[in-house]
Structure 1
């Protein structure tokens, strides 16, 4: 059974608060008296350093899956009683181990389609190069290269859940032929998103001009795009990933980009985050890279951190909400 937090003095850590985005919100003002919130902007990937830093806290609020909480780390946090993750699921938290230690794990809501919108920002940047054109104009140049139109091209969506369906429907609005593949595809599900189902992932890869990934990371999907899959793509095609980094073999992707096996890539997620300085993706050609900002919008943070504060308040009252 979970042990309650003390209402006399509850120390709360908000992790990975890049740009002080959480600290600037007013959502924390409604926390019960006795709560002290510390906002930690630095990302700690070393487990020893993380265990030492979090040792005094009874409650921790994690941002998505940036900071893993495996069983061995939880065992080193004897004061921890409440662990909140933004979002409704977090594969980086060992929820069973937390429960066994009397730690309640709760989630939050997040904006529904922010990642789908970023998917299209990456696709459009690959297609039209607005960033490069802006840089050229500001440096005294004029038109820097020739863009690619999307009307009549083929968009392949791997994973047709909530976000994949939104990306597919936008592709249809651009006049693209939209193909979709998932292991449990039905014609009805595809039709709702304006997509045509294909029999195999291989067919989708071979026919698409843009391949966009929208899958949850698990044992079946890890490395679903590797060297063999990249070799099936058109040499002019683009790969876009705003879901989870390990869906793609990064070394194989960097090699394919350098060899011209595919035309380019738009990535928001990576195997290791923040992306290490020595990553081969950083100097791979024809790439648009963003630092996992699919969910990083003001309205999303307001919603998620507001729910996180509510999670703490409800737990202190003995009535936890949104338990995972």
Structure 2
């Protein structure tokens, strides 16, 4: 496990001296202990003013995933405050019960399916969130769609290696159908870009708002099957839940056109990963792009890493500077409000 400590100012000046936020100390002298988990890029210190709470809170930053409950307890069991990044580290009841010192848990965003809010309440843990912008995942969705349609990774790899000049024949988007599974905040933004490209945009979801679809110029499909059978690009934008889990399985993938692409920037559980791998290997569809996986980080030996016509990214949908500045900046605000006895942006 990699861990760093230090003031935000020290980080900006390139300090790697192990000094703690708020000065030297280990949580003694009345200061609470706080850990920022899953700071993969080692940038959380530089994106918020942690010094604002430094006289009351001892903060440390962890950069490696914590894979088991034992690892979490060993790493942060001494902390009263935890800052977590979405669903990178789950906090079910079994783990929360093993963190008796924990009093404040802050998550990026205002929804985190990996946190057991009932167990947190039972253990006396206040859970707070932050704002989250929907533009970054919508933008990344189009990075995947365009990358698949124009063979970007294949052509770039060949160019860098001095390989053949032009290997792929791009798929047109203009005049083709973009099918959206879900038309919420992100789906709506993806729809607008599709319309700008001259695509026919259609949508389906269990609770599709037909009035909203009409306002966006989106054609509502009567069924999931109709959307899959008629779309050239299918993009998933649903919340993972009981009704959406496994929504796209073998039968659904076989309904898609052999020339179609499937893109998932929502949650891996919506698409049956075994069926998707078979679809790619056997050519049921032209290709797939995904930013989300059943296990993250994706294991080194996962077969999706080498699947044909697969464009995968390491869950970057929300990973932008503006989002992170909001996450960590508001995390500091959440700590301040909690210390003042007036928690804000509470969940549950």
TM range (shorter): over 0.9
Matching of residue 146 in structure 1 with residue 169 in structure 2: yes
2:337 is matched with: 314
Partner-residue secondary structure (3-state), 1:89: coil
Is the CA contact 2:48–2:328 (under 8 Å) kept in the aligned structure 1? no
Correspondences of 1:45-56 after superposition (within 5 Å): 45-56=67-78
1:269 is matched with: 292
2:203 is matched with: 180
Higher relative contact order (CA 8 A, sep 6+): 1
Structure 1, unpaired ranges of 5+: none
1:165 is matched with: 188
Displacement, 1:182?
1.1
Task: Give distance in 1, aligned partners of 2:49 and 2:148.
Answer: 37
Is the CA contact 1:7–1:33 (under 8 Å) kept in the aligned structure 2? no
Task: Give distance in 1, aligned partners of 2:136 and 2:48.
Answer: 22
Is the CA contact 2:47–2:325 (under 8 Å) kept in the aligned structure 1? yes
2:250 is matched with: 227
Task: Give distance in 2, aligned partners of 1:162 and 1:226.
Answer: 25
Correspondences of 1:1-324 after superposition (within 5 Å): 8-141=30-163, 142-324=165-347
Count of residue pairs the alignment pairs up: 320
Task: Give distance in 1, aligned partners of 2:96 and 2:208.
Answer: 38
Q: Are the structure 2 counterparts of residues 152 and 73 from structure 1 closer, same or farther at C-alpha, using a change threshold of 3 Å?
A: same
Is the CA contact 1:190–1:196 (under 8 Å) kept in the aligned structure 2? yes
Q: Are the structure 2 counterparts of residues 93 and 18 from structure 1 closer, same or farther at C-alpha, using a change threshold of 3 Å?
A: same
Q: Structure 1, residues 139-195: CA drift from partner, whole Å, max 9, x if none?
A: 224223221121011100001100011111111110011110011223311122221
Structure 2, unpaired ranges of 5+: 1-26
Task: Give distance in 1, aligned partners of 2:157 and 2:266.
Answer: 28
Partner-residue secondary structure (3-state), 1:39: strand
Displacement, 1:237?
0.7
Q: Are the structure 2 counterparts of residues 13 and 126 from structure 1 closer, same or farther at C-alpha, using a change threshold of 3 Å?
A: same
Task: Give distance in 2, aligned partners of 1:190 and 1:285.
Answer: 34
Task: Give distance in 1, aligned partners of 2:93 and 2:29.
Answer: 27
Instruction: Report the TM-score when normalising by structure 1.
Output: 0.96
Q: Considering only aligned residues, what root-mean-square deviation do their CA atoms show, in Å?
A: 1.5
Larger CA deviation: 263-272 vs 140-149: 140-149
Q: Are the structure 2 counterparts of residues 203 and 318 from structure 1 closer, same or farther at C-alpha, using a change threshold of 3 Å?
A: same
Partner-residue secondary structure (3-state), 2:115: coil
Displacement, 1:130?
2.4
Partner-residue secondary structure (3-state), 1:20: coil
Is the CA contact 2:149–2:171 (under 8 Å) kept in the aligned structure 1? yes
Displacement, 1:32?
4.8
Displacement, 1:52?
1.7
Task: Give distance in 1, aligned partners of 2:114 and 2:305.
Answer: 25
Q: Structure 1, residues 85-144: CA drift from partner, whole Å, max 9, x if none?
A: 000011100011101111000000122211000000000000112233223223224223
